[in-house]
Chain A
Amino acid sequence: MSETILEINHLSKFFGKHEVLTDIDFSVDTGDVTSIIGASGSGKSTLLRCINLLETPTSGEIIYRGPNIKKIKGGAPAYRTKVGMVFQSFNLFNNMTVLKNCMVGQTKVLHRSKEEAKKEAMKYLEKVGMAPYINAKPRQLSGGQKQRVAIARALAMNPDILLFDEPTSALDPEMVGEVLNVMRTLAKEGTTMLVVTHEMAFARDVSNKVVYMNGGVILEQGTPEEVFGNPQHKETVDFLARFRN
Chain B
Amino acid sequence: MDRISQLLNDVSATLSSSYMQYLVGAGKTILLAVIATAVGCIIGLACGILQTIPSEKDDNPVKRAVLFVIRAIIRIYVEVFRGTPMILQAVFIYFGIPYFFGNGARLDITFAAYLVVSINTGAYMAETVRGGILSIDPGQTEGAKAIGMNHFKTMTSVILPQTIRNIIPQIGNNLIINIKDTSVMFIIGYTELFAVHKAIVGAKFIYFPSAVIEMAMYLCMTVICSVLLRFWEKKLDGPQNFDIATTDTLALTSGMNTYIKKNKREDIHR
Is the pair B145, A77 in contact by a Cβ cutoff of 8 Å?
Answer: yes
Q: Which residues of B contact A140 (CB under 8 A)?
A: 241-242
Q: How far is the CA of A81 from the CA of B263 in the complex (A)?
A: 29
Judged by a CB distance under 8 angstroms, whether B85 is at the interface is no
Is the pair B260, A132 in contact by a Cβ cutoff of 8 Å?
Answer: no
Is the pair B147, A119 in contact by a Cβ cutoff of 8 Å?
Answer: no
Q: How far is the CA of A136 from the CA of B249 in the complex (A)?
A: 16
Is the pair A91, B147 in contact by a Cβ cutoff of 8 Å?
Answer: no
Is the pair A91, B58 in contact by a Cβ cutoff of 8 Å?
Answer: no
Q: How far is the CA of A109 from the CA of B156 in the complex (A)?
A: 13
Q: Which residues of B contact A118 (CB under 8 A)?
A: 252-253, 255, 260
Q: Say whether, besides A94-B140, A94-B162, A80 and B146 are in contact (CB < 8 Å).
A: yes
Is the pair B58, A56 in contact by a Cβ cutoff of 8 Å?
Answer: yes
Is the pair A131, B153 in contact by a Cβ cutoff of 8 Å?
Answer: no
Judged by a CB distance under 8 angstroms, whether A135 is at the interface is yes
Q: Which residues of A contact B252 (CB under 8 A)?
A: 118, 122, 131, 134
Is the pair A85, B158 in contact by a Cβ cutoff of 8 Å?
Answer: no
Q: How far is the CA of A123 from the CA of B249 in the complex (A)?
A: 9
Total number of A residues with any Cβ neighbor in B under 8 Å: 46
Judged by a CB distance under 8 angstroms, whether A239 is at the interface is no
Question: Nearest CB to that of A86 among chain B residues?
Answer: B146
Shortest Cβ distance from residue B156 to the other chain A in the assembled complex, whole angstroms: 9
Is the pair B249, A131 in contact by a Cβ cutoff of 8 Å?
Answer: yes
Judged by a CB distance under 8 angstroms, whether B142 is at the interface is yes
Shortest Cβ distance from residue A15 to the other chain B in the assembled complex, whole angstroms: 13
Number of A-B pairs, beta carbon distance below 8 Å: 107
Question: Nearest CB to that of B143 among chain A residues?
Answer: A91
Q: Which of B217-270 contact A (CB under 8 A)?
A: 238, 241-246, 249, 252-253, 255, 257, 260, 263
Q: Which residues of B contact A110 (CB under 8 A)?
A: 148
Question: Nearest CB to that of B156 among chain A residues?
Answer: A108
Judged by a CB distance under 8 angstroms, whether B149 is at the interface is yes
Is the pair B244, A133 in contact by a Cβ cutoff of 8 Å?
Answer: yes
Q: Which residues of B contact A134 (CB under 8 A)?
A: 245, 252
Is the pair A54, B145 in contact by a Cβ cutoff of 8 Å?
Answer: yes
Judged by a CB distance under 8 angstroms, whether B64 is at the interface is no
Q: Of residues A95, A100, A154, which shows the largest number of chain B Cβ atoms within 10 Å of its Cβ?
A: A95
Judged by a CB distance under 8 angstroms, whether A89 is at the interface is yes
Is the pair A132, B140 in contact by a Cβ cutoff of 8 Å?
Answer: no
Q: How far is the CA of A45 from the CA of B252 in the complex (A)?
A: 37
Judged by a CB distance under 8 angstroms, whether B161 is at the interface is yes
Q: Which of A81-130 contact B (CB under 8 A)?
A: 81, 84-85, 87, 89-95, 97, 99-100, 104-105, 108-110, 114-115, 118-119, 122-123, 126
Is the pair B149, A105 in contact by a Cβ cutoff of 8 Å?
Answer: yes
Shortest Cβ distance from residue B244 to the other chain A in the assembled complex, whole angstroms: 5
Is the pair A122, B253 in contact by a Cβ cutoff of 8 Å?
Answer: yes
Cβ-neighbour of A95 out of B56, B158, B242 (below 8 A) = B158
Q: Which residues of B contact A85 (CB under 8 A)?
A: 142, 146
Judged by a CB distance under 8 angstroms, whether B135 is at the interface is no
Q: How far is the CA of A126 from the CA of B158 in the complex (A)?
A: 24
Q: Which of B82-136 contact A (CB under 8 A)?
A: none
Q: Mark A47-90, 1 if CB is under 8 A from B, else 0.
A: 00000101010000000000000000000111111001101011
Judged by a CB distance under 8 angstroms, whether A153 is at the interface is yes
Shortest Cβ distance from residue A80 to the other chain B in the assembled complex, whole angstroms: 4
Q: Of residues B137, B147, B149, B243, which shows the largest number of chain A Cβ atoms within 10 Å of its Cβ?
A: B147
Q: How far is the CA of A137 from the CA of B165 in the complex (A)?
A: 15
Is the pair A100, B242 in contact by a Cβ cutoff of 8 Å?
Answer: no
Judged by a CB distance under 8 angstroms, whether A33 is at the interface is no
Is the pair B245, A80 in contact by a Cβ cutoff of 8 Å?
Answer: no
Q: How far is the CA of A70 from the CA of B146 in the complex (A)?
A: 16
Question: Nearest CB to that of A163 among chain B residues?
Answer: B146
Cβ-neighbour of B162 out of A84, A95, A99, A154 (below 8 A) = A95
Q: Which residues of A contact B139 (CB under 8 A)?
A: 87, 89-91
Chain A residues in the interface with B (C-beta under 8 A): 52, 54, 56, 76-81, 84-85, 87, 89-95, 97, 99-100, 104-105, 108-110, 114-115, 118-119, 122-123, 126, 131-137, 140, 150, 153-154, 157
A-B contact pairs, 19 of them (CB 8 A): A56-B56, A77-B150, A81-B148, A84-B147, A87-B139, A87-B143, A87-B146, A93-B140, A94-B162, A95-B158, A97-B242, A108-B149, A109-B148, A109-B149, A114-B260, A115-B255, A115-B257, A135-B245, A137-B242
